[in-house]
């Protein structure tokens, strides 16, 4: 609110200076014109008196001329008064329109282009600042220590508390009991002991070894986030990236990485991640509700104006796949290239305006390679590598597509 009050006051101040200049100019012009006419007529009267004294003009002619000049003086004086008043009215209307345009226009333009609370930084400086913020953010333990004890909303029975004590003792004596550690992680989380639950889940992953799944790793990362009160720590980020290395379509990992991007000053990346998740669905996925609650604000921070939440799971067709291209083999060469070109154009436009997962970018790059448009394929490849600069798994997908299209570095 303070920002907008300051902005409006500054616009009003500028408008007042312009108004003063306009009104002052109108008065000066009107006054100067009337005074000049009066001075001319008075000089003419004086000249007539001198001509009469020299005998140049007869007295009867001089009287007629004096009457005519006096009439003109009265008319000029009356006109000067009217002119002095009239220019004051016209600038007031102009000033009102100017003030409305200046104040309203400034607010409208800033609402469209600016963002309250952000410093005036170049894009490169913003990215560097966000990177520094992410690298220097608090670790997991610091975040947990800064929070009050987690309130348990569910009243736990004495029987459950005793069972948990027994489970902890049993698991402690049997460190390789997979099922015991799974139960321990679930029930510690139920009690609000999220760090203990994360420790148990970490042991689950160690026991599974090579058989660990992306879901196991995302469970661990989510417990770290819950323990930190919704904050995505560096340790949680590592977990979610590891989950994506196992399964690049892990929606929960993508959601939390998007949340981390919001927290560290990169809403643009968060928007692309979350918008892609909404379009992919499904509608009952656990991450859909928190995304829909936040994405409109994130879109505004990312500079995406007039964004509306898409149909969940109803995203546009991803563009030409390998099967699409092979299916066109029975067409004539000209018809085939026209068909592929139209599909590529649609995919390119969607990615430019709405973003999309790495697979869509990869499909566009390989399709452009098929079309022989290496220059455009290279441009899209470089753009995609920038878009997914903080997502190693997605960069690998893009890099593979670039190699297939012959444009990878």
- pLDDT of 194 > 60? The answer is yes
Sequence length of the chain is: 409
pLDDT tens per residue, range 151-191: 665 677 888 889 999 999 999 999 999 999 999 999 999 88
Segment 273-281 mean pLDDT: 86
Segment 382-395 mean pLDDT: 82
pLDDT tens per residue, range 30-43: 445 556 666 776 77
What is the C-alpha separation between 325 and 321, in angstroms, rounded? 6
CATH 1.20.5.50 fits 140-148+157-264, yes or no: no
pLDDT tens per residue, range 4-32: 576 667 767 776 766 666 665 544 444 45
Copy the structure tokens of residue 240. Answer: 């979610």
Copy the structure tokens of residue 140. Answer: 């997991």
How many helices (H) does the chain have, and how many strands (E)? 17, 0
pLDDT tens per residue, range 395-408: 888 888 888 788 87
Structural domain boundaries in the chain: 1-81+92-113, 140-148+157-264, 322-405
- Name the residue with higher pLDDT: 379 or 121: 379
348 three-class SS: helix
CB 367 within 8 A of CB 351: no
Confidence at 329, pLDDT banded by 50, 70, 90: very low
Query: What is the pTM for the complete model shown?
Result: 0.55
């Amino acid at each position: 609110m303070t920002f907008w009050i300051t902005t409006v006051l500054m616009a009003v101040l500028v408008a007042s200076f312009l108004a003063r200049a306009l009104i002052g100019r109108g008065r000066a012009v009107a006054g100067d014109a009337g005074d000049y006419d009066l001075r001319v007529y008075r000089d003419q009267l004086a000249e007539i008196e001198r001509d009469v004294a020299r005998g140049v003009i007869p007295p009867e002619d001089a009287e007629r001329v004096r009457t005519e000049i006096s009439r003109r003086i009265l008319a000029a004086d009356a006109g000067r008064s009217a002119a002095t008043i009239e220019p004051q009215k016209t600038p007031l209307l102009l000033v009102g329109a100017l003030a409305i345009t200046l104040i309203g226009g400034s607010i409208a333009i800033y609402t469209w282009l600016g963002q309250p609370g952000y410093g005036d930084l170049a894009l490169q400086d913003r990215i560097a600042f966000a990177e520094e913020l992410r690298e220097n953010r608090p670790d997991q333990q610091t975040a947990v220590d800064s929070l009050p004890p987690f309130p348990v909303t569910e009243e736990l029975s004495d029987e459950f508390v005793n069972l948990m004590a027994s489970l902890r003792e049993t698991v402690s004596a049997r460190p390789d009991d997979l099922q015991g550690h799974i139960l321990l992680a679930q029930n510690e989380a139920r009690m609000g002991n999220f760090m203990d639950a994360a420790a148990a889940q970490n042991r689950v992953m160690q026991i599974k070894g090579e058989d660990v799944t992306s879901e196991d790793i995302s469970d661990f990362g989510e417990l770290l986030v819950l323990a930190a009160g919704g904050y995505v720590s560096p340790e949680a980020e590592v977990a979610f990236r590891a989950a994506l290395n196992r399964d690049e379509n892990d929606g929960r990992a993508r959601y939390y990485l998007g949340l981390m991007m919001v927290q560290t000053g990169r809403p643009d990346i968060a928007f692309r991640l979350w918008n892609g998740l909404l379009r992919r669905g499904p509608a009952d996925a656990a991450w859909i509700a928190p995304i829909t609650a936040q994405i409109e604000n994130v879109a505004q921070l990312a500079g995406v104006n007039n964004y509306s939440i898409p149909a969940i799971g109803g995203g546009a067709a991803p563009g030409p796949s390998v099967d699409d291209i092979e299916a066109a083999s029975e067409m004539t060469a000209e018809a085939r290239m026209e068909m592929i070109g139209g599909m590529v154009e649609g995919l390119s436009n969607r990615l430019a305006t709405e973003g999309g997962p790495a697979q869509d970018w990869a499909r566009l790059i390989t399709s452009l390679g098929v079309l022989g448009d290496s220059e455009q394929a290279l441009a899209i490849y470089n753009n995609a590598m920038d878009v997914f600069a903080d997502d190693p798994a997605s960069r690998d997908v893009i890099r593979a597509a670039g190699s297939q299209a012959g444009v990878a570095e």
